[in-house]
Amino acid sequence: MLEVNIKPVSMIAGTGSYLPSRVLSNFDLEKMVNTSDEWIKVRTGIEYRAIVEDGVITSDLCKEASLEALDEAKVLPEELDIIVVGTITGDVKFPSTACYVQKKIGAKNAVAFDLGAACCGFLYGISIADHMMKSTRYKNILVLGGEILSSITNWKDRNTCVLFGDGAGACVIKRSDGKKGILGTYIKSDGTLSELLTMPGGGTKYPDPSSVPDEKMNFINMEGREVFKHAVINMTEAGKLILKEVGLKSSDVDILIPHQANMRIIEAVAKKIDIPKERVFINLNKYGNTSAASIPIALNEARKEGRIKEGDICLMVVFGGGFTWGSAVVRF
């Protein structure tokens, strides 16, 4: 096993994910907007996305992902100290979706709160959880990313509607055994670029959906090319920086779990960090971009498919609205 000079304080003891069973294919989208399966596949790598049935809400998806993660970690809901949900599509404006998850799983002893960092919500949550473990006596933290992006997608806009999907992913963080665990995290943001990826409607600026200057403002608005450029630069920087900080090289990474937004972004980032294709986990084709849920869903699938073995070094990199970005290195 690779020697690492860092003694982790917390570790990922269980993961879970949940995807709605209703599937929307590129061919379905061809009937909705002026697009083609070929364009979507070539430009993004996406073929399908999972979309919730009417009436299903974010905490429902989070509950299912949580139960799988808790079961694997052998942690009871009442043993949870904290529940953090990364989301931009919570059940209601307030209270937090984390409180609804707390109620649904019966985690009566936890403190529950949401984290709004767009696609980075889960990874910011991991970073905060690790630091909470370092500074408190807490033993068990549940970190989630859960989104129903279909609820804020403009289904008439071909620039964005082909990209997004729904889902949730979870992980249970416990105290480390001293070997396995979170070796380091890095999180960053740049608010000067916030307008490039935003949903202006529904906040205090435009509380009434009918008062927005343009009805598109009630949905995800994105300057795709700019987001693409910054995503590549910042995910690369985040990946390299955290590897350096924990004293590892790119050749030490057994698996890269990148934010699943666009295949071309993933390929560019992996190349720049110098991680070969075989060591990059991709499920983007099946689910599209599920924002904060993207990394925990991918992490759970990678583990359950046997792509992550005992002792493996996993690098996660993410980028999203804010702009926000970050990375984490974990030994499993």
- Between residues 320 and 326, which has the closer beta carbon with respect to ligand ACO? 320
Among the listed residues 10, 44, 97, 127, the single contact to ligand ACO using CB under 6 A: 44
* Least distance between ligand ACO and beta carbon 52 (Å): 17
Residues 292-311 that bind ligand ACO (CB under 6 A): none
Residue partners of 65: CB distance under 8 A and separation at least 6: 16, 17, 18, 144, 146, 168, 169, 170, 296, 300
Minimum CB separation of residue 162 from ligand ACO in Å reads 4
Q: Which of 139, 158, 216, 304 binds ligand ACO (CB under 6 A)?
A: 158
Of 9, 23, 30, 35, the one binding ligand ACO by CB under 6 A: 35
Tokens of 294: 């993207």
* Cβ–Cβ under 8 Å, residues 319 and 230: yes
* Active-site position among 119, 120, 161, 171: 119
Interface with ligand ACO includes 48 (CB under 6 A)? no
Sequence-ordered list of residues with C-beta below 8 angstroms from that of 77, at least 6 positions apart, any chain = 66, 70, 105, 106, 107, 108
Distance CA 185, CA 268 (A): 21
Contacts of 184 (CB under 8 A, 6+ apart): 6, 242, 245, 246, 328, 329
Q: Residue from 225, 249, 278, 306 that binds ligand ACO (CB under 6 A)?
A: 225
Binding part of the chain for ligand ACO, among 123-131, 236-244, 250-258, 259-267 by CB under 6 A, reads 259-267
* 227 near ligand ACO (CB under 6 A): yes
Nearer to ligand ACO, 12 or 238 (CB): 238
Contact residue for ligand ACO among 26, 262, 283, 327 (CB under 6 A) = 262
Which among 40-48, 49-57, 70-78, 280-288 is the span making contact with ligand ACO, rule CB under 6 A?
40-48
- Using the minimum distance from each CB to ligand ACO, give the nearer residue, 180 or 259: 259
Residues that bind ligand ACO (CB under 6 A): 35, 39-40, 43-44, 118-119, 158-159, 162, 197, 224-225, 227-228, 231, 261-262, 265, 289, 291, 320-321
Which residues are catalytically annotated?
119, 259, 289
